[in-house]
Amino acid sequence: MNRDHVFVCGHPALDFAATLRARRSARFEVLVTPERLTAWYLESGLVDRITPGREGDVREAVAVREALYRLVTDRRLGEDFTPEALDVVNAAARRPPVTPQLTSHGRRTEATPGQALATVAGQAVELLSGPDVPLLKECGNPECTRVYIDRSRGMRRQWCGMESCGNKIKAAAYRARKKAAPATH
């Protein structure tokens, strides 16, 4: 399968929240069509098969994603949860989630877009009420707004991912140093 989406945050709910990129600047929306939403659910490993989505599924997913991002930000900053965002995520989490089935060939997970979204919302509830909250960090790239779980030794990780942000920042810093260094002949 061709993977168009990036999964570097260490948790499906955080990767889902990161489907709107560069929130402080260019704002790149990943979930622009029902097909892109379906692709995210498949590529995330949440489902093996999903019924085709509609525009309403995209609007609902974006609303849940934005509420989830607000709650992640609230928790990361040690603030009280925003009540409206809490209501949106909890309402989605109350719906029936994805239910894996056992087949003669192994595990198979088929779902509707609503079930997939309910599963992401349920995962968000578990994350934001669980032991990983102190490990939530925002990427050190000023253009990136991904939040990830930092399980590195000493919590020294600076980037959401080396390929997505770390290499870009390191290369830019190297070029800046080379440009600033006096030429030696």
Could you tell me whether strands 101-103 and 106-108 are parallel, antiparallel, or unpaired per DSSP bridges?
antiparallel
125 domain-assigned: yes
Domain hosting 37: range is: 12-180
CB 40 within 8 A of CB 30: yes
46, containing H or E segment: none
DSSP 8-class letter at 185: -
The fraction of the chain above a pLDDT of 70, given in percent, is 87
Give a yes or no: residue 123 inside a domain: yes
Structure confidence at residue 180 as a pLDDT band (50, 70, 90): confident
Does 63 map to a domain? yes
Q: pLDDT of 86-114, one tens digit each? A: 999 999 999 999 999 999 999 999 999 99
**Helix (DSSP H) and strand (DSSP E) numbers for the chain:** 6, 8
Domains of the chain: total: 1
For residue range 125-141, list pLDDT tens digits in order: 999 999 999 999 999 88
Residue 3 lies in a domain: no
Task: Check which CATH number belongs to the domain holding 35 and give it.
Answer: 1.10.3300.10
